[in-house]
């Protein structure tokens, strides 16, 4: 069977990370399936030895920087996408966050006789409205919710949808080395070291916050390691080369650190929570992602504190609270049972859907009703 994962991203790596994790889990469970990763994200190359075969079509951010007009971009990139899907001819298409893609680029493909699965991540209130989202989700046979059942409130119209399956949080694999080995590899000599990360690296709004955080940590004699993410094209001006840590994925390295200062994105919060790392979380405004809600939930869970704003004075207060042992170090145990990762659960559900390909035929695609020939009237 052929499975196509379609990931598109802007400021972060959420879609890419979740879909990469699921694709690798499928490969681990059953390597006989052909997997193609079709991406519009600028991040790469993927760091995993078992990363899927990938075709990358540059996104709108690259088109703007390159001086390509919207007309030229859409007329070039969308047909490339359609031709890739048509040529690979997948039995299953898996998408994330945008049922028809952020530009509506998947709308024509929704009519094609392909099994489809959608990965749902909690969104800001009102951003997943029934009138718009329900018809866009109609072609999908499965909706994977990347949360625990008691962690979010689904939109009321989606709560009883029989296609919904909860997977638990989907993120990168955790650490494979002991803490001391990781610290030795990083050359850590500080009594305390902090990982600072504001997501995938595609958001220029984080520059000033990073400057304040780095200076505050230095003043408090904390070792600084800034993970800029693969979307960052250069080292930030506010740090030294010794403080630059452009690692991706970040999860395997987290046990080396004593604390974290980070944004409130899905991947970041999930990975820090799994690591049990005491964290100061600083939320940013996003069109779809409700970082403020996620940060509040992390604070209620007891492993993070947050700031009321991104003002320098508030960040300074947050750092003081973090360093005064307001949160106990939990050493990778945040109280959430991990009998099965979210990616593994999602992979099992998708493989189950694939098994139904032979037994349950798709609804036939038909032409629209004939319309009168206006010229003949």
H or E stretch at 259: strand 259-262
pLDDT in tens, 295-328: 999 998 889 999 988 999 999 999 999 998 766 5
Task: Judge whether residue 208 has pLDDT over 50.
Answer: yes
The pLDDT of residue 191 is 87
238: closest CA among 206, 203, 190?
206
CA end-to-end distance (rounded Å), the chain: 49
Domains of the chain, first to last: 2-170+341-359 (3.40.50.2000), 179-323 (3.40.50.2000)
Query: Average pLDDT, stretch 84-94?
Result: 97
Q: 120, 130 in Cβ contact below 8 A?
A: no
**Stated pTM of the model:** 0.86
Place of tokens 């319309």: 371
pLDDT band at 364 (very low <50, low <70, confident <90, very high): low
The pLDDT of residue 337 is 39
Q: Which long-range contacts (CB under 8 A, 24 or more apart) does 238-246 make?
A: 238/207, 238/210, 238/211, 238/214, 239/210, 239/214, 243/214, 245/186, 245/195
Place of tokens 């899907």: 85
């Amino acid at each position: 069977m052929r499975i196509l994962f379609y990931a598109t991203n802007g400021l972060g790596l959420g879609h890419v990370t979740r879909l990469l994790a699921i694709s690798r889990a499928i490969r681990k469970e059953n390597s006989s399936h052909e997997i193609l990763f079709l991406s519009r994200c600028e991040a790469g190359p993927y760091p995993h030895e078992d990363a899927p075969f990938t075709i990358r079509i540059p996104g709108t951010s690259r088109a703007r920087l390159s001086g390509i007009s919207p007309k030229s971009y859409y007329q070039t990139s969308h047909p490339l996408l359609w031709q890739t899907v048509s040529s690979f001819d997948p039995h299953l298409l898996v998408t994330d966050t945008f049922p028809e893609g952020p530009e509506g680029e998947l709308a024509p493909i929704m009519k094609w006789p392909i099994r489809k699965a959608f990965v749902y991540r909690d969104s800001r209130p009102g951003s997943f409205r029934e009138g718009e989202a329900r018809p866009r989700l109609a072609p999908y046979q499965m909706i994977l919710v990347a949360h625990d059942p008691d962690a979010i409130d689904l939109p009321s119209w989606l709560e009883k949808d029989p296609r919904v399956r909860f997977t638990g949080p989907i993120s990168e694999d955790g650490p494979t080395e002991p803490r001391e080995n990781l610290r030795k590899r990083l050359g850590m000599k500080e009594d305390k070291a902090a990982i600072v990360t504001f997501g995938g690296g595609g958001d220029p709004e984080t520059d000033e916050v990073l400057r304040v955080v780095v200076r505050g940590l230095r003043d408090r004699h904390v070792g600084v390691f800034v993970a800029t993410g693969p979307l960052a094209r250069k080292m930030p001006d506010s740090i030294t080369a010794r403080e630059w840590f452009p690692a991706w994925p970040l999860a395997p390295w987290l046990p080396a650190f004593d604390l974290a200062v980070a944004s409130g994105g899905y991947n970041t919060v999930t990975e820090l929570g799994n690591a049990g790392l005491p964290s100061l979380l600083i939320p940013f405004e996003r069109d779809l992602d409700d970082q403020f809600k996620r940060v509040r939930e992390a604070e209620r869970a007891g492993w993070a504190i947050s700031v009321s704003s991104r003002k320098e004075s508030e960040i300074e207060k947050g750092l003081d609270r973090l360093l005064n042992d307001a949160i106990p170090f939990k050493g990778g145990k945040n109280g959430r049972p991990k009998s099965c990762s979210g990616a593994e659960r999602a992979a099992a559900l998708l493989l189950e859907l694939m098994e139904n390909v032979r037994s349950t035929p798709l609804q036939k695609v038909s032409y629209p009703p004939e319309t009168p020939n206006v010229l003949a009237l």
